[in-house]
C-alpha cells in the first residue's frame, strides 16, 4: 500500500516536471522578444540569446513616440468597448424576442442568423467595402463599430438564445401581472439574469475585436484612427530590419492584452469553456 | 362597446409590431447591411469584371470561374498549401491541446499557473504572433543553433518552402493548443465520476481507460475543437501575412491571402469575389461534414 502511494507520487512528479519544461518551452518566444527589445542594435545582432550588455529602456521611449502608442491604444479601446456595448444590446434583445415570440418570421430569421456563421469573412469583405463606402462607413471608427455589430450578432444571438431557454417563464409572467411593460420585463428581469452569458460574450468579443486585423485594415485608412494591430503593422513595415525598435513595438502591442488576460483569466477561461459548450 | 374592443385589439397588434421592431430591428438591420447584402452581392460580382474603381461593370458570365479553375495556378497552389497546412495544424494542435488537458487534470501543484501559461499565446493577435515568430525563426533559432550546435535550429526557417510551411504549423499549434486545452479540460471535468471509478475497479489500464472511457466521453469537445481549428486554419490570414508574407516564392500563400491580394492589390474585384465564393463553398462543406461526422460519434451518457 505504502509503495503504491509512493509510486503514484513519483509518477506525478515526473508529470509535473514534464509539464513545467513544456511551459518553459512555450514561454521561450516571450523571453527572446522581451530581452532583445532592451538591447542596442549592435548588442542584439551579436548575441540574440543572452542577457543585454546594458538595458536600453530608451527603445521603449522612442517607440512610444513613433507609434503614437497612446492614440492607438485609445482607438482600440474605443472600438472594442462600443462594439461590445452595442452587440450585447442588440443581440440580447433580438434573442429574447425570437425565443418568446416564435412566429414563422422569427424562426426563419433565427435560422438565417445561425446559417450565416459558416460564411467566411473573406467571402463577404470585397462587396462589403463597396457597401460600406456607399453608406459612409469607410475610414471611420464609428463605421468599423457598425461592421462589428453585423459580424458579431450571429454568434452573440445564438449564445443568448441558448442561455435564455433556461430562464423560467413564470418570473416574467409574475412581472407582467405586477404591471411591468414588455420593455420593463426585459430590462429589469431578463437582462440581469443573463449576466453569466453576458460576461462570456463580452470576453469572446473583446478577444476577437481587440486582436482583429483584416477588417480594420479594410475600413480604417487614416493614420490617426488606427488600432494597435494596424499601427504595429505599419510600424513594422517601416522598421523591418531595425529589430531593437521593432521588438519594443511588439512588446507594447502585446502588453495590453496580456495584462487584461492575467487580470481576468478566471473569467476568460470560464467564458471560453461556456462559449464552446454552446457552440 | 364593440368599437372599444376592436380598438383595443388594434392597439395590441400595433404595440406588438412596435416591440418586434424595437427588439429585433437593430440586429436585423446591421446583419443585413454588413453580412447578408454583401454576401448576396458577391454572387453578382463574381460574374463580372468589376475592378473596384470604375462604376462600369461588365457581365462576363462564368469566365472568372473558368479562369480560376483552368488557368490560375497560384490559386490552386494556395488551396493546396491551405489544405496541407490545415491538416497539419488541426492534427497537431488537437494532439497537443488534448495532451495538455490530460496532463493538467492531474493533481499537479503548478496546475493553475501552467494553464495560464499554455493559454497565454492565444490572447495575442495573430498578426503580432507572426512578427514575434519571424524574429524567433530568423535571430532566435540561429542564436540557439550557435549555442547548442543542434542542426534543427540552424535551418533557414523562413527561407525554404518546406521549413516555412512547418514554421506556420509550429506557430499555429503554439497559438491554438492552449485554447483547445481549456475546452478539453472543461469536458474532462464533466466526465461522470462513477464511470471512471467503475472502470478503475474493473481493472482498466491507462491506455484502455483513455480509449474506452475518456475519448468517447469528451467526443462533444472533439466536435467543437475540430470545428474551431478547421475554420481558423482554413481562414488563416494575419499570421500568414506577418510570418511569411506567402513566401518564399508564394509557396506558403493561403487562400485568404490570395483572395485579398487579387481584390485589393491587383484590383480584380470580380475575380476576387469568384474566388471567395469557391472558398465559401469549400469551407462550408468541409466544416458541415466534419460536424455531422463527429456528432454521430458522440455518445449519450
Give the separation between CA A179 and CA A277, rounded to whole angstroms. Answer: 37
**B272 at the A interface (CB within 8 A)?**
yes
pLDDT in tens, A23-62: 999 998 999 899 888 988 888 887 777 888 888 888 899 9
Q: Is residue B51 part of a domain?
A: no
Domain boundaries, chain A: 60-278
Q: Are residues B184 and B256 in the same domain?
A: yes
Across A142-146, A170-174, B10-14, the highest mean pLDDT is recorded for A142-146
| Confidence label for A172 from pLDDT (cuts 50, 70 and 90) | confident
Q: What is the pLDDT of residue A6?
A: 45
Report angle CA A30, B177, B251 to the nearest 5 degrees: 80
Q: Is the pLDDT of residue A1 over 50?
A: no
Q: At what angle do helices A69-100 and A141-164 cross, to 10 degrees?
A: 40
Give the separation between CA B68 and CA B276, rounded to whole angstroms. Answer: 11
**Contact call for A109 and B24, based on CB within 8 A:** yes
Give the separation between CA B182 and CA B13, rounded to whole angstroms. Answer: 48
In percent, the amount of chain A with pLDDT more than 90 equals: 59
Cell of B201: 475497479
List the one residue out of B102, B78, B271, B89 whose CA is nearest residue B187: B102
Q: Is residue B164 part of a domain?
A: yes
Q: Are B195 and B213 in contact (CB under 8 A)?
A: yes
List the beta bridge partners of residue B59: B48
- Indicate the Cα dihedral angle B51, B56, B62, B67, nearest 10°: -30
Q: Are residues B100 and B24 in the same domain?
A: no
**Contact call for A186 and B174, based on CB within 8 A:** no
Q: Are residues B167 and B93 in the same domain?
A: yes
Report angle CA B245, B246, B249 to the nearest 5 degrees: 115
Q: Report chain A residues whose CB lies below 8 A from the CB of B136.
A: 28-29, 32-33
A109 φ, ψ (degrees, to nearest 5): -60, -45
Using the CB atoms, write b or e for A229-255: b if 16+ within 10 Å.
bbbbbebbeebeeebbbbbbbbbbbbe
Per the omega criterion (within 30 degrees of 0), is the bond before B248 cis? yes
Q: What is the mean pLDDT of residues A120-131?
A: 93
Q: Is residue B234 part of a domain?
A: yes
Range of the domain at B9: 1-45
Closest CA–CA distance from residue A23 to any residue of chain B (Å):
6
- From the list A48, A122, A233, the residue facing B259 with the nearest CB is A122
Q: What is the pLDDT of residue B106?
A: 87
Q: Is the pLDDT of residue A2 over 50?
A: no
Chain B residues 69-98 within an 8 A CB cutoff of chain A: none
Q: Could you say which architecture CATH assigns to the domain A60-278? A: Orthogonal Bundle (1.10)
Give the separation between CA B24 and CA A98, rounded to whole angstroms. Answer: 8
Q: In this structure, how many other beta carbons lie within 10 angstroms of the beta carbon of residue A165?
A: 7
Could you tell me the CA-to-CA distances from B256 to B49, B79, B229, B239 in Å, in that order?
20, 9, 16, 11
- From the list A18, A89, A229, the residue facing B127 with the nearest CB is A229
**Contact call for B284 and A118, based on CB within 8 A:** yes
- From the list B30, B225, B242, the residue facing A149 with the nearest CB is B30
Q: Is residue B138 part of a domain?
A: yes
Task: Kindly give the confidence (pLDDT) of every residue in chain B, 301 residues in length, as a single tens digit, with 9 standing for 90 and above.
Answer: 678 888 888 888 898 899 999 999 999 999 999 999 999 999 999 998 888 777 778 888 888 898 888 888 889 999 999 999 999 999 999 999 999 999 998 888 888 899 999 999 999 999 999 999 998 998 888 888 888 888 788 788 888 888 999 999 999 999 999 999 999 999 998 888 888 888 888 877 888 888 888 888 888 899 889 999 998 999 999 999 999 988 788 889 999 999 999 999 988 999 999 999 999 999 999 998 998 888 887 765 5
Give me the CATH number covering residue B89: 1.10.3720.10
**Contact call for B108 and A12, based on CB within 8 A:** yes
Q: Is the pLDDT of residue A3 over 50?
A: no
Q: At what angle do helices B73-104 and B111-119 cross, to 10 degrees?
A: 170
**Contact call for B23 and A97, based on CB within 8 A:** yes
Q: In this structure, how many other beta carbons lie within 10 angstroms of the beta carbon of residue B33?
A: 19
List the beta bridge partners of residue B48: B59
What is the value of pTM for the model shown?
Answer: 0.91
Q: How many CA atoms, within 13 angstroms, populate the side-chain half-sphere of residue A70? A: 3
Q: What is the separation of C-alpha A45 from the centre of its chain, rounded to a whole number of angstroms? A: 35
Number of structural domains found in chain B: 2
Q: Are residues B213 and B76 in the same domain?
A: yes
Q: Are residues B200 and B135 in the same domain?
A: yes
Amino acid at each position: 500500500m505504502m509503495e503504491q502511494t509512493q509510486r503514484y507520487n513519483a509518477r506525478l512528479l515526473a508529470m509535473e516536471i514534464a509539464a513545467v519544461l513544456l511551459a518553459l518551452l512555450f514561454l521561450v518566444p516571450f523571453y527572446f522578444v522581451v530581452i532583445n527589445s532592451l538591447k542596442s542594435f549592435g548588442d542584439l545582432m551579436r548575441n540574440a540569446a543572452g542577457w543585454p550588455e546594458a538595458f536600453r529602456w530608451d527603445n521603449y521611449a522612442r517607440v512610444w513616440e513613433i507609434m503614437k502608442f497612446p492614440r492607438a491604444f485609445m482607438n482600440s479601446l474605443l472600438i472594442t468597448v462600443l462594439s461590445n456595448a452595442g452587440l450585447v444590446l442588440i443581440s440580447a434583445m433580438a434573442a429574447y424576442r425570437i425565443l418568446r415570440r416564435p412566429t414563422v418570421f422569427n424562426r426563419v430569421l433565427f435560422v438565417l442568423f445561425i446559417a450565416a456563421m459558416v460564411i467566411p469573412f473573406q467571402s463577404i469583405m470585397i462587396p462589403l467595402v463597396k457597401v460600406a463606402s456607399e453608406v459612409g462607413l469607410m475610414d471611420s471608427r464609428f463605421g468599423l463599430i457598425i461592421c462589428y455589430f453585423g459580424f458579431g450578432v450571429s454568434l452573440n444571438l445564438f449564445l443568448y438564445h441558448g442561455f435564455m431557454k433556461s430562464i423560467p417563464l413564470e418570473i416574467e409572467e409574475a412581472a407582467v401581472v405586477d404591471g411591468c411593460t414588455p420593455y420593463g420585463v426585459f430590462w429589469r428581469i431578463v437582462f440581469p439574469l443573463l449576466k453569466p452569458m453576458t460576461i462570456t460574450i463580452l470576453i469572446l468579443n473583446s478577444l476577437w475585436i481587440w486582436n482583429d486585423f483584416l477588417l480594420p485594415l479594410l475600413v480604417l485608412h487614416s493614420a490617426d484612427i488606427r488600432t494597435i494591430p494596424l499601427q504595429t503593422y505599419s510600424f513594422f513595415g517601416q522598421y523591418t530590419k531595425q529589430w531593437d525598435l521593432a521588438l519594443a513595438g511588439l512588446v507594447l502591442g502585446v502588453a495590453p492584452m496580456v495584462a487584461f488576460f492575467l487580470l481576468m483569466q478566471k473569467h476568460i477561461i470560464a467564458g471560453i469553456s461556456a462559449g464552446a459548450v454552446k457552440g | 362597446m364593440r368599437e372599444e374592443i376592436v380598438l383595443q385589439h388594434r392597439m395590441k397588434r400595433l404595440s406588438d409590431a412596435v416591440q418586434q421592431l424595437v427588439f429585433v430591428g437593430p440586429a436585423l438591420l446591421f446583419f443585413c447591411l454588413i453580412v447578408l447584402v454583401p454576401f448576396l452581392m458577391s454572387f453578382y460580382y463574381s460574374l463580372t469584371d468589376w475592378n473596384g474603381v470604375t462604376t462600369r461593370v461588365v457581365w462576363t458570365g462564368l469566365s472568372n470561374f473558368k479562369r480560376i479553375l483552368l488557368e490560375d495556378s497560384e490559386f490552386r497552389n494556395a488551396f493546396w498549401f491551405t489544405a496541407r497546412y490545415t491538416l497539419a495544424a488541426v492534427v497537431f494542435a488537437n494532439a497537443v491541446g488534448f495532451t495538455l488537458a490530460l496532463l493538467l487534470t492531474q493533481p499537479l501543484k503548478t496546475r493553475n499557473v501552467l494553464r495560464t501559461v499554455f493559454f497565454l499565446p492565444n490572447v495575442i493577435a495573430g498578426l503580432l504572433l507572426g512578427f514575434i515568430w519571424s524574429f524567433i525563426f530568423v535571430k532566435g533559432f540561429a542564436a540557439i543553433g550557435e549555442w547548442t550546435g543542434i542542426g534543427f535550429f540552424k535551418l533557414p526557417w523562413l527561407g525554404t518552402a518546406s521549413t516555412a510551411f512547418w514554421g506556420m504549423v509550429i506557430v499555429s499549434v503554439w497559438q491554438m493548443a492552449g485554447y483547445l486545452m481549456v475546452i478539453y479540460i472543461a469536458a474532462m471535468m464533466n466526465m461522470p465520476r462513477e464511470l471512471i471509478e467503475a472502470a478503475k475497479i474493473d481493472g482498466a489500464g491507462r491506455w484502455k481507460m483513455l480509449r474506452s472511457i475518456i475519448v468517447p466521453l469528451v467526443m462533444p469537445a472533439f466536435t467543437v475543437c475540430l470545428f474551431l481549428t478547421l475554420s481558423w486554419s482554413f481562414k488563416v490570414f494575419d499570421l500568414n501575412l506577418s510570418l511569411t508574407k506567402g513566401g518564399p516564392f508564394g509557396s506558403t500563400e493561403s487562400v485568404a491571402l490570395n483572395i485579398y491580394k487579387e481584390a485589393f492589390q491587383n484590383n480584380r474585384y470580380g475575380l476576387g469575389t469568384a474566388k471567395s465564393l469557391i472558398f465559401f463553398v469549400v469551407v462550408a462543406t468541409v466544416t458541415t461534414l466534419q460536424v455531422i461526422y463527429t456528432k454521430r460519434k458522440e455518445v449519450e451518457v
